[in-house]
C-alpha cells in the first residue's frame, strides 16, 4: 500500500530514517519521501550522498516541537512514520524538560498535525524501555505510546489512524553496545554493567521492514511487537573479545537487568502471530476492528515477553556471525 504514496519521516536523518528512506524509494516505489529533521548539516550530508539521489526525495528543516511547521510538512502526505525522539537515558535524567518537550509534546503535535491535514496512517516507533519504565526516557516513550493509541479517539470523520511499532536494541545503531565493545577490544578490557544482563536485539533492516509492515496491516490502535532474539552481555562480550579482561561496573541509574516488550499487565489484550505479537487497545472508544482482523493465539494470563525468558536466545557462534556481518556492512 506504500507504492505511489507520499510518506513523511520525522527524525529522518537518523539511523532508522535513512534506511527507511532507501527502502521506500527503492523497494516500495513511494511517490515522494519527505525528511523532517532539525539538523541542517545531517540533511546536507544525506542529500549529497549518492545513495539518496532521487527527485522523489524532499527535505524539511523543522522540529516536532513546532506544530505549525509539522502541519506544513504534512500537507498532502498519506503516511507518517514518527521516528524523531531524544533517546539517551543519562541525558534524560539530567534534562527532563527537554525530553518531555520532544518525546511527549512532540507526539501530541504529530497527532494534531496529522489529523488537521488528513494524513491517513501514522506509525510511531517505540522501545522496550517504555514497558514498566524506571527511567525518564522510558517514561516519556510510554506517554508517547499512550498519546498515539488514544489519538484514534479524536480523528473523527478525518479518518486518521495511529499505531505503534515497539522493538528492542538495533544492532550497530548509535549508542549500541557492539561498536563500544569493538572499540574497547583494542584496549584489552571490556566494561560490563552486569554479565547476566539480557537485551533484545534486532537488525536495522528488520526494524525498518517491521515498521513498514505495520503501516500496511494496521487498523489503528495496535502496538506491534516483532519476535526477535535476545542475548546476554556476557555472551556478547565472549563473542567479540574472548581474551579480554572484563571489568564489572554495575547497573547505571535508570537501567534494568532485563527488558520486556509485552508486560504481564497487557497479556490479556495480546495475541501471538507467527512473527509478532499485537497488543490490542484496552479502551477503543472508536470503531476498532483489529480483533477481528488480527486473528492470532490469545496470550495466556501471566504471559510476558521478556529478554531473559525469551526462548530465542543467541549463542556465541550466532553472535559472532552477526558481529562479522556488522563489521563487513552485510548485516541486513
- Beta strand extents in 64-111 (DSSP E only): 79-82
pTM of the model: 0.95
User: What's 203-255 look like in SS3?
Assistant: CHHHHHHHHHHHHHHCCCCCEEEECCCEEEHHHHHHHHCCCCEEEECCCCCCC
- In the chain, what are the domains? 6-167+203-227+262-305 (3.40.50.720)
CA gap 163, 78 in Å, rounded: 15
- Edge-to-edge strands of the sheet including 198-202? 169-170, 198-202, 230-232
CA gap 116, 111 in Å, rounded: 9
Q: How many other CB atoms sit within 10 Å of the CB of residue 111?
A: 27
| Active site residue ranges | 129
DSSP state of 274: S
Q: Which residues make beta-bridge pairs with 305?
A: 262
For residue 78, report the phi and psi dihedrals to the nearest 5 degrees: -90, -40
CA gap 139, 267 in Å, rounded: 20
Mean pLDDT for back-to-back runs of 10 residues, the chain (332 residues): 95 96 95 97 97 96 98 98 95 96 98 97 97 96 98 88 95 79 91 92 95 96 97 94 92 89 96 97 91 92 96 95 83 68
Q: Which residues make beta-bridge pairs with 122?
A: 80, 162
Amino acid at each position: 500500500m506504500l507504492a505511489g504514496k507520499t510518506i513523511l519521516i520525522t527524525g529522518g536523518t537518523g539511523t532508522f530514517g535513512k534506511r527507511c528512506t532507501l527502502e521506500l524509494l527503492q523497494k516500495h516505489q513511494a511517490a515522494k519521501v519527505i525528511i523532517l529533521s532539525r539538523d541542517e548539516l545531517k540533511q546536507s550530508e544525506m542529500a549529497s550522498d549518492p545513495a539518496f539521489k532521487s527527485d522523489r526525495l524532499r527535505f524539511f528543516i523543522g522540529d516536532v516541537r513546532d506544530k505549525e511547521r509539522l502541519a506544513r510538512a504534512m500537507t498532502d502526505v498519506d503516511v507518517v512514520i514518527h521516528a524523531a525522539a531524544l533517546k539517551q537515558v543519562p541525558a534524560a535524567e539530567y534534562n527532563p524538560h527537554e525530553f518531555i518537550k520532544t518525546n511527549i509534546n512532540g507526539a501530541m503535535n504529530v497527532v494534531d498535525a496529522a489529523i488537521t491535514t488528513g494524513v491517513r496512517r501514522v506509525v510511531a516507533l517505540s522501545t522496550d524501555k517504555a514497558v514498566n519504565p524506571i527511567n525518564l526516557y522510558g517514561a516519556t516513550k510510554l506517554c508517547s505510546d499512550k498519546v498515539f493509541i488514544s489519538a484514534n479517539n479524536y480523528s473523527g470523520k478525518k479518518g486518521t489512524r495511529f499505531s505503534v511499532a515497539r522493538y528492542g536494541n538495533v544492532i550497530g545503531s548509535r549508542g549500541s553496545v557492539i561498536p563500544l565493545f569493538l572499540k574497547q577490544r583494542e584496549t584489552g578490557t571490556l566494561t560490563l554493567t552486569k554479565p547476566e544482563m539480557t537485551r533484545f536485539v534486532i537488525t536495522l533492516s528488520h526494524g525498518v521492514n517491521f515498521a513498514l509492515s505495520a503501516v500496511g496491516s494496521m487498523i489503528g490502535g495496535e502496538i506491534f511487537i516483532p519476535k526477535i532474539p535476545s542475548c546476554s552481555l556476557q555472551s556478547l562480550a565472549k563473542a567479540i573479545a574472548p581474551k579480554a579482561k572484563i571489568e564489572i561496573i554495575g547497573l547505571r541509574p535508570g537501567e534494568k537487568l532485563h527488558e520486556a516488550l509485552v508486560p504481564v499487565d497487557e497479556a490479556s489484550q495480546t495475541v501471538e502471530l507467527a512473527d509478532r505479537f499485537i497488543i490490542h487497545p484496552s479502551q477503543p472508544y472508536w470503531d476498532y476492528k483489529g480483533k477481528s482482523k488480527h486473528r492470532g493465539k490469545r496470550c495466556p494470563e501471566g504471559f510476558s515477553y521478556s529478554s531473559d525468558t525469551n526462548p530465542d536466545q543467541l549463542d556465541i557462534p550466532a553472535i559472532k556471525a552477526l558481529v562479522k556481518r556488522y563489521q563487513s556492512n552485510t548485516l541486513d
